[in-house]
Structures are given as C-alpha cells and as structure tokens.
Structure 1
Amino acid sequence: MSLRSRATFIDRSGKSYPLTDPRWRGDDGSPLSLSELPGLTPAQIVPLERSIWRYQGVLPVDPASGVSLGEGWT
C-alpha cells in the first residue's frame, strides 16, 4: 500500500483531501497538514539493500521507477 493511498491532507476544520489533489489550502482557506501515518517497522526494511531503497515499503514512490547513483547506506 503506497503512501498516497494511506495519507491525506487535512485542513483546520478536519476535512480531508487526497494527496493526489494538488492544493495549497483547504476549502476554508486554512493551511493543510499531513495526516498521521503508521511508523516504520523492521519488517518493512529490505535488509540486504544498501541504499535508500531499503525503505521502499514506506517511500511514496514506486520502487520500479527508482534510480540509484550507488550512494549506499543512505
């Protein structure tokens, strides 16, 4: 399950908006906050991966579209 399907923007009144809806403020004009997300668990870490992609289970991008520059242990 991706971040986009789990998180939402929330305005001051409590109204939620999907992350896929490009907006800078709520319908009431208030700034938006990001909804709380569950934390990272050890099961979501790919232990043999030596880059930022070891956390692919919680990153908001599709791992298939990821690019690595050989950064290692980021």
Structure 2
Amino acid sequence: MSPTVGPARLDLALALVAADQPGEAAHVALEAVTSGRLVPSNYWRAAEVIRAAENLHVRETDDLKDAYRTFCAAWAGD
C-alpha cells in the first residue's frame, strides 16, 4: 500500500463532508485512520471529519472516534 493512501482517503472524506455525505465520509476516514499510513500532521483532518460526523449525528461516529483515540490521539495530544 502506498504511503499516500491514508492522506488521500482523508482528502476524500473531507470532500464527502462538503458534498453532504457524512456517513460515507466517516467510513472513508475510518479506513484512513486505521491504515497505519497517517502522520501526526494529518490528524487534524481526521478530527475535522469527526466533528462534522458528530454535528450531523452520523451513526459511524463512535467507531471513528475510537479509532482516532487508538491510532492518533496519543500523538496529537488530544
């Protein structure tokens, strides 16, 4: 898997949020977060998708938040 896959999935997730598809955005962001291909400078973008999913009451938000805490939060200082 290419090292750019995780960040590209976050870009897609943010585009899906903008296209009013927050459920799909949360799913794609979950794939990105769990890919092992993110670096700390990408974490804020995942957090943006989480905030949008929470605000829109997306069902997948809890899974995404759990993955973020597991894979990102220790490094992001959240």
Give the TM-score band, short-chain normalised: under 0.3
Q: TM-score, normalised by structure 2?
A: 0.23
Q: TM-score, normalised by structure 1?
A: 0.24
Greater relative contact order structure (CA < 8 Å, 6+ sep): 2
Structure with the larger strand share: 1
Max Rg structure: 1
Q: Which has the higher helix share?
A: 2
